[in-house]
Amino acid sequence: MKSSSTVFKEKNQLGKVESCINMGRPVHFMLSSLFIATIFSIFLLYSPKPLIVLSKNGLDPVLQQKEASSPMQGHDSVQKQLDQDKPHKSNFQKKENCDLSKGHWIREPRGSYFYTNSSCATIPNSKNCFKQGRMDKDFLNWIWKPDQCELPRFDAKSFLQIVQGKTMAFIGDSVARNHMESLLCLLSQEENPEDIYKDSEDRFRTWYFPRSDFTLKVLWTKFLIAGEERMINGTASGIYDLQLDKVDDGWAKHLPGVDYAIVSSGHWFFRILYLHEGDNVVECVYCNEPNVTGHHVEFSVQMSFRATFNYINDCKNCSGLVTLLRTFAPAHFEHGAWNTGGYCNRTGPFNETHEIDIASSEWKVRNAQIEEVERARKVGKNQGKRFGVLDVTRAMLMRPDGHPGEHYGEKWQGGAKDCVHWCMPGPVDTWSEIFMAVLRDQAGLSS
């Protein structure tokens, strides 16, 4: 088990990563046609998986063929296969109390991708891993399978029907934006969105789907609560003062009028933090000062989410708001931190023998978030507010292969790798499959 100081050294300044399928010719003799049709009918009736058998005998996805040497040529083959083999649609059938977060990754022969950079024009360069030279594609061939129920593939048409006339906001850091960008690509396969607003720093962004009258926003915030970086001799120190009794007004002022808020945060908390109530420093994280009560990172995360959910429950102009917590999505740096040579070059998920370390800081952060959303849910029942959870932590702990790594466009100083954000397409698209299941449940559409 890593000590707190080791975790801090590995994850300090992690937030800086924010700035990646002939018909045959007609048969001329009726008897031959009848014979062939009879044989084929028997095959369909008695073969347990006839389409899979057909696939294994010559209709496998292009991805299983030998790839071209050029990344873009290989990516074109992905687009051709995507056009020929759209993911199947299915109704969501969820067992009562099925935990979508408990499951495993299984191979999907058709791949898990829904789009490419040819079919989605809004993939940012920093997450466009194929465009940036990533050659391996097996990481696309996995889907999340909950242990107790079926999780259907994402259905953009159904999603847009559910949210028609609504406004949805993703509130959080650049990983929250990563989720929004993934959802934007998924939905753009059904309807083209209009880019109607961005601020000068491109941190607040709004997209509009006119046919569905659906508005999609991202509201950027580091900590959810108010915070300010300490300057030492005019230089940013990476040390922050956070106000436990005040949320970040940057996102809070946009909350009225939002129907669905997806709230997340976490990576910015792995640093020295001083926690204030009013003008007083009451606790700290990683400060090691004798006169200040010290806490681990999960404490500051928990207090931040408590303040955020309290604000949402108290919001007088937020009637009917549905708030969904998206739990912490871990980074996967190996052999160092982001700024000490750490990298993430795996090409597949961890296998079934890989156990979740419940003592890890990532899992503790997830648990703190879950505790606070459950607290908020109880309070919100009496105030017309609803809360839910998109629990992705366990699933994403198993996907060290999903990050851009060195394939993220503009390189950071010192050749740092991006093992925080997620390639598009990639495992991050699974978040929206879980999201849609939860959304249907919230809308009372689950069967």
Q: Of the residues 112, 174, 212, 361, which is catalytic?
A: 174
Indicate if 174 belongs to the active site: yes
Tokens standing for 307?
A: 């303040």
Is 418 designated active site?
yes
Residue 165 burial (10 A CB sphere; 0-12, 13-18, 19+): exposed
Count the helix, strand and coil residues of the chain and give each as a percent rounded to the nearest 5: 35, 20, 45
Strands 103-107 and 142-146: antiparallel
Residue 368, SS3 per DSSP: helix
Could you give the count of Cα atoms lying within 13 Å of 384 in the half-sphere of its Cβ? 9
Q: How far apart are CA 123 and CA 116, in angstroms?
A: 9
Which residues, in sequence order, are CB contacts of 66 under 8 Å at separation 6+? none
Beta strand pairing status for 214-220 and 167-172?
Answer: parallel
Q: Which amino acid, residue 424? A: M
**Cβ 430 vs Cβ 143: under 8 Å:** yes
Annotated catalytic residue 295: no
- Rounded to whole angstroms, the Cα distance separating 322 from 362 reads 25
Residue 294 pairs in a beta bridge with 284
Task: Give the separation between CA 133 and CA 20, rounded to whole angstroms.
Answer: 12
Classify burial at 11, counting beta carbons within 10 Å of its beta carbon; exposed 0-12, middle 13-18, buried 19 or more. Answer: buried
Which one from 173, 401, 418, 429 is the annotated catalytic residue? 418
Task: Enumerate the H helices of 239-340 as residue ranges.
Answer: 249-252, 297-314
**Is the bond leading into 425 cis (omega within 30 degrees of zero)?**
yes
Residue 244 in tokens: 């436990």
Question: CA–CA separation, 275 vs 327, rounded Å?
Answer: 22
Cite the active site residues: 174, 418, 421
